[in-house]
Structure 1
Amino acid sequence: MKNIAIIMGGYSSEVQISLLSGNVVYNNLDKMRYNRYRIHILIEGWFYCDENDQLSAVDKNDFSIQVDGKKVKFDAVFNAIHGTPGEDGLMQAYFALLEIPQSSCGYYQAALTFNKRDLLSVLKPYGIKAANSYYLNKGDEINTAEIVKSVGLPCFVKPNKSGSSFGISKVKLQDELEQAIEKAYQEDDEIIIESFLDGTEVSVGVIKYNDVVTVLPITEIVSENEFFDYEAKYLGKSQEITPARISAEMTAKIQKIAKRIYEILKMEGFSRSEFIIVNDEPHLLELNTVPGMTTESLLPQQAEKAGISLSQLFSNSIEMALNK
């Protein structure tokens, strides 16, 4: 049987969510086909977490572990790290150098998609619509009047490279901008400020399933809060309706755009794109390459509606990695 490392944790605010995702993968990956190993990639160090939750060090030289006095190396890696270093290309590049197949996209695609500014800039020439935006780097002068003139109010202030809605604020008054900017800087030294898009928010997963690019059913997101923030995503403060309550024509349009983005970027593995529909036009918010895999997460919900179980979803991901 193949030895599979399931990496989880990470160095960002998403560490606990990633650990949840990783454990869902561990519990649902077919134990009759694979030897499964939980690997915690943490700021404190890299550790193998055994069945008794005991931690032992990972050898970073060749990404191996010691189990019962024997060295274990891995045939493939399932990447369940949200945020850095699992979603920004660092782990992908590391495994590429070690020639270990891994489940997510390549290091370039990971770095590109993790950077919201760069992703939207690359896709703009292909006609992919997005909100008006304004960029700030830490240390830049903050001209709130200029920001409002550029993107209007209300607007969203976001860290350029983060997930799970950490550091995001919806700003309704010019006086609130500086505080929102400081909050975003706690997550990243780059900020993107976007105009508010008033419309229906949807999310759609795209995967390679049995070697075919497959668009999953679309989820409509109805948040009880001001936007689809952390509480809405993970603490039940939203309705997630799959399939979305949109027309067949709009469904087809969004699925076509999501698949086109996946192919333009030469993606592998999972992707989940977020759109807001304004005046019958989908506007891209962002694209996640290591989407949540918890039982509350959107992509597993979408896969279930498509008749794909968690076990099938995760096994397919490993097989796609092994066959790259």
Structure 2
Amino acid sequence: MKTKIALITGGYTAESEVSFKSSAFVYTQLDKSLYEVYEIAIMPEQWYYVNDAGIKFEINKQDFSLMMDGHVVKFDIAFIVLHGSPGEDGRLQGYFDMIGLPYTSCDALTSALTMNKGYTKAVLAGISDLYLADSVLLFASDRDSASQQVQDRLSLPFFVKPNAGGSSIGMTKVKAVSDLDEAIAKAYDAAHTGQQVLVEEFIEGREFSRGIFKNSKGELVVLPASEVITTREFFDFEAKYIPGLTDEITPADITDEQNDRSERIIKDVYRKLNCRGMVRVDFFLQSETDKFYFIEINTTPGQTEQSFIPQQVRAHGMSETEFYTEILEGALLVAKTNG
């Protein structure tokens, strides 16, 4: 009997467009001989499934079941490919915990924590060979004094970003103090990001992204690194999603020592944040010092054919089908172990 998979997509933020692209790709790669897959859209107005005939069926939120064609479909596991809220900030994970449905991503606490960039940096402080850019975390109550706080504590240039949010939405690189107020307002006003702003000193160097996952044997596997080279000022939303603006080199051209060091650091990050499933860690390699600086962690990384994780999976010598099977079977093993 096939395992019933709820492939979770959509979302309540502007990242829903990316989620639908990710889930469409994942759907084509899942092993249909093992899994019966239902693509479930989680949208503000409705949670639903659309069958091959284009008929929409609403999810019963009491138990996340699906009444369809006179019978009830109950799922064995949720494969979360929903970027942003509520699939990346712990809300959906908390709901699944309450109804007892296993899922592929980090748990509710880790998801909520890692969605908060400032809090994540605080937890990661102390990891050997991992460096953190000087920063200021601004709350809603700091809005009137935000610009002065930043100027008092940090040196130009700055990265100004929503403290919660993804896809570089609401982010600005500030090279002149005269542009700071506008950048802070943009970050504060980004939708669904919690009225918190993180301002960091800019780190000059090469930018990398590297995935890590726990396989079906419970082993941590770090994927090959990808280097990001963009014609934009930084790796912003347009650079991420408009073809031709960015070169992504996988595997990255790094030394054996840099590869081993980043692999060890990323495993430490995964353990310290109590991650599950697959995550992606972004970091800078500072030009002058060769130090690795943490940028952020993504607990629901993009899964289009061009996204970093699928690129790295292929560079690792796996097919996406094999990789997603490992993710699902690993999550099912955790669920069985935890009872």
Task: Give the TM-score normalised by structure 1.
Answer: 0.97
Are the equivalent residues in 2 in contact too, given 1:93–1:107 (CA < 8 A)? yes
Can you list the C-alpha shifts for 1:160-179, whole angstroms capped at 9, x where unaligned? 11011111001111111111
Choose the corresponding residue for 1:168, options 171, 174, 180: 171
- Secondary structure at the aligned position of 1:111 is classed as helix
Distance 1:63 1:145 in 2: 48
Does residue 112 (structure 1) correspond to residue 113 (structure 2)? The answer is yes
Are the equivalent residues in 1 in contact too, given 2:90–2:110 (CA < 8 A)? yes
Aligned to 2:228: 221
Does residue 153 (structure 1) correspond to residue 160 (structure 2)? The answer is no
Aligned to 1:44: 45
Aligned to 1:181: 184
Aligned to 1:248: 256
- Secondary structure at the aligned position of 1:126 is classed as coil
Displacement of 1:143 after TM fit?
Answer: 4.5
Distance 1:13 1:132 in 2: 29
How much is the aligned-residue C-alpha RMSD, in angstroms?
A: 1.2
Distance 1:308 1:164 in 2: 26
Aligned to 1:142: 145
Distance 2:270 2:296 in 1: 12
Aligned to 1:267: 275
Aligned to 1:19: 20
Distance 1:46 1:62 in 2: 12
Are the equivalent residues in 1 in contact too, given 2:160–2:197 (CA < 8 A)? yes
Choose the corresponding residue for 2:133, options 110, 131, 152: 131
Structure 1: segments with no counterpart, 5+ residues: none
Distance 2:147 2:109 in 1: 34
Are the equivalent residues in 2 in contact too, given 1:171–1:177 (CA < 8 A)? yes
Are the equivalent residues in 1 in contact too, given 2:137–2:199 (CA < 8 A)? yes
Distance 2:18 2:215 in 1: 25
Distance 2:126 2:272 in 1: 11
Choose the corresponding residue for 1:310, options 311, 314, 320: 320
Are the equivalent residues in 2 in contact too, given 1:234–1:296 (CA < 8 A)? no
Does residue 232 (structure 1) correspond to residue 239 (structure 2)? The answer is yes
Aligned residues: 324
Displacement of 1:214 after TM fit?
Answer: 0.2
Aligned to 2:337: none
Structure 2: segments with no counterpart, 5+ residues: 335-339
**One-letter identity of the residue aligned with 1:213:** L
Can you list the C-alpha shifts for 1:212-244, whole angstroms capped at 9, x where unaligned? 100000001101100011121111210100111
Are the equivalent residues in 1 in contact too, given 2:147–2:184 (CA < 8 A)? no
Distance 1:37 1:119 in 2: 33
Are the equivalent residues in 1 in contact too, given 2:104–2:331 (CA < 8 A)? yes
Distance 2:47 2:188 in 1: 27
Displacement of 1:157 after TM fit?
Answer: 0.5
Are the equivalent residues in 2 in contact too, given 1:159–1:190 (CA < 8 A)? yes
Are the equivalent residues in 1 in contact too, given 2:79–2:104 (CA < 8 A)? yes
Change in CA separation of 1:133 and 1:53 when aligned onto 2, cut-off 3 Å: farther
**One-letter identity of the residue aligned with 2:126:** P
Please show how residues 29-40 of structure 1 align to structure 2 within 5 Å: 29-40=30-41
Aligned to 2:292: 282
Task: Give the TM-score normalised by structure 2.
Answer: 0.93
Can you list the C-alpha shifts for 1:104-148, whole angstroms capped at 9, x where unaligned? 011111111111011100111334311110121224223534413
Change in CA separation of 1:53 and 1:295 when aligned onto 2, cut-off 3 Å: farther
Change in CA separation of 1:232 and 1:58 when aligned onto 2, cut-off 3 Å: same
